[in-house]
Amino acid sequence: MGQYNHAIDDKGRLTIPSKMRNDLGSEFIITRGLDGCLFVYPKCEWENIINKYKELPNTKDARNFMRFFLSGATTLELDKVGRINIPTNLIDFANLDKDCVIIGVNEHLEIWNKKSFDDFINTNIESFSDIADKLFAPNI
């Protein structure tokens, strides 16, 4: 959990906050996420996702989503100073430029273009209360 602002350099290197590094482990997976961001999963969580995908029916929707999600996936490691080197295709997908936001979302991290994340929050700020009511209201 948490939100951290970091800059990505011209070589595609982004520092992962120290509080998040231990949870990632020595190797982790980065891939295209939803809503225009990147998802970063610890290897054990990635294995859980792959196992769930194996149970999906062989439908066009399932195949298309797996193509989108898995074709962008790559294994990364932290360098000596806690940075990752994000592949160019993923930088382009998430429109990452200098200012990035890294957020913890349950079992994974999300990496956003700062402007895109700010727009997401500002666009949805009025609806979060209603969403919370729908998701967490007791069943009657």
**140 confidence band (pLDDT: 50, 70, 90):** very low
Domains of the chain: 2-136 (3.40.1550.20)
Distance CA 18, CA 71 (A): 28
| pLDDT tops 90 at residue 1 | no
Distance CA 1, CA 107 (A): 9
pLDDT, tens digit (0-9, with 9 covering 90-100), for 80-125: 999 999 999 999 999 999 999 999 998 999 999 999 999 988 887 8
Kindly report the number of other CB atoms within 10 A of residue 106's CB atom: 7
Residue 138: predicted pLDDT = 65
* Mean pLDDT calculated for residue range 40-47: 94
